[in-house]
Structure 1
Amino acid sequence: MELHDVWFVLIAVLWTGYFFLEGFDFGIGILTKLLARDRKERRVLINTIGPVWDGNEVWLLSAAGGTFAAFPDWYATLFSGFYLPMLAILICLILRGVAFEYRAKRPGEKWQRNWEHTIFWTSLVPALLWGMAFGNIVHGVKIDARMEYVGGLGDLLNPYAILGGLVTLALFTFHGTVFAALKTVGEIRARARRLALALGAVTVVLALGFLIWTQADTGNARTLVTVVLAVVALVAAIGAIAAGREGWSFALSGVTIVAVVATLFLALFPNVMPSSLNAAWNLTVTNASSTPYTLKIMTWCAGIATPVVLLYQGWTYWVFRKRIGTQHIADAQH
């Protein structure tokens, strides 16, 4: 296997880690409006991800940075062609981080309510746009012979991409609901389990349609395996939450996310960004990659840094592993 193939796999792993971890972050943010009934319950939900949300975003930085260094032409075409959606995601992520930090800085009702609205919308919008972005990447966009995107914003709003966005939105919300059930106690946990069943049914329908479309359009024997795995894991996750096994349900919803992302990258390979104008103009792991020497240096750096990141993130989750409930939230002091 060539180094550019290795880095394609590594970037796929980084995006998978990001969607697995940030997926339930986005889901929790959306649940502050769908599940929480009052301010104290919203504080419970936010506290479930409070110690880990910023660490989860390290995976996005690593995925984007790895793409920039290993496949500069892919990075340039992707981030210039998808400039407005990517800018919207970036603004949301900035505002979302500010909202987490600033929400409790003042006791005023209006102040906290506005930041809670911000958390909801800046969680929902990226959850939708990431699916649309990857849907367009796999489906193909208008790339010319100079490796430049020549389409417009309207070209990105095609049915396949929109369905992909709805799938990630539903899947991340379901993932977050299971995480809420896993991390809370009391009435909010019971309601999270009931909501997960309803969301799971919607997610199955959307995911099944998207995965069948992907398999029919760009699939192969390898993607067929991951498609089946994704559907089976999602159905099993719903069954596990119905049986009150939140840990198993969360693991299985995570497997679903891993299988869906694997399906997209397996359908993409050896391309990194297909051209809908001419297959000869596709960006591939070969023509879009950096030099072998650059990839070699990157491989050594990744081999040293990645275990460190995994260790400190694993330690963080271990330290903050216990459930919380409204009884753990002190009343606001005015």
Structure 2
Amino acid sequence: MANTRNSAPPESERLLAQLSASLKRHLPLASARKRLVVGLSGGRDSVALLHALHELQAGFDYELAACHVHHGISPHADEWLTFCSRFCQRLQVPLTCVAVTVPRDAAEGLEAAARACRYAAFSRLDADCLVLGQHLGDQAETLLFNLLRGGGVHGARGMPESRWLRSGLALLRPLLAMPRGEIERYLQAHDLAWIDDESNLDVRHSRNFLRHRIIPELRMRFPAVEGRFAAAAGRFAEAAELLDELAVADLGEVPASFPVPVATLAALNEPRARNLLRYLLVRQGVKIPSEARLKEALRQLLEAAADRHPALILGEWRLFRQRREVRLEKTLGKLCDNEIK
């Protein structure tokens, strides 16, 4: 745990200005009640965010609460919960703790599995807006991570400042354009303590490797690397929106859902058909496979003989062809003999 104190320089209030501007842009996403819940891990970013939202509460007239997800992975997890409880008591902010069980043998890795459990817990909150503390450095890491995974234009667009988690619950990342240094200055200026998760230093995790090994090296040669990556993510987001509009146009009168007629995909050239298939999968909330695997899946779905039933397993989903349609269904853990590798 760290705790430092400085006199408050004017620069420390930039975080409040950034937060205020984001709230003015996005609070209309929420209902008139405007109940905001901060995802509070106890780390630097979430502590600064909750404190700043508490400072601005009177001016925006919203209800403020916090949610701590107890993963039970670290031996210090109970200490983190105690820290978050005491911090919320100091601010007189209600705190909800949700305990989750993270599968240690998840195919996507422990880090991704913990994230999935965390968002599943957040999606059940009684709130209008979930507010998270990701910042400029997190955006840069996300862009680089997704590019290295072969995520394409949609992956390279990074994290949006706001989106819907579910009907009635908006997700807001108001500090996404804020450099990490500004957050640290805010913590120092307001004499705020935080906790350090030791797993954040473990470079066996891909994001930590990028954060501690790759981006610092890039910053030595390109000092504005994080801002440049974030700007690129914004341009990729615009390109992704245009691709989505093209997919809607290619659907014509066909509903934007599965099943989709094979003829609709077959009438398009390969890149547009793949774009349409990707668009439909994203709408369904399915994690998109690599471009190479998606390309091979499309080829088999369109070209396989009539007596064949090619299928692509996507986590808990199965994409397959049946009766001249491309369909999507839950797998319930069952694999298909004709699974597309």
**TM bucket, shorter chain:** under 0.3
Superposition TM-score, scaled by structure 2 size: 0.22
Superposition TM-score, scaled by structure 1 size: 0.23
- Higher relative contact order (CA closer than 8 Å, sequence separation 6+): 1
Write 1 or 2 for the structure with the bigger share of strand: 2
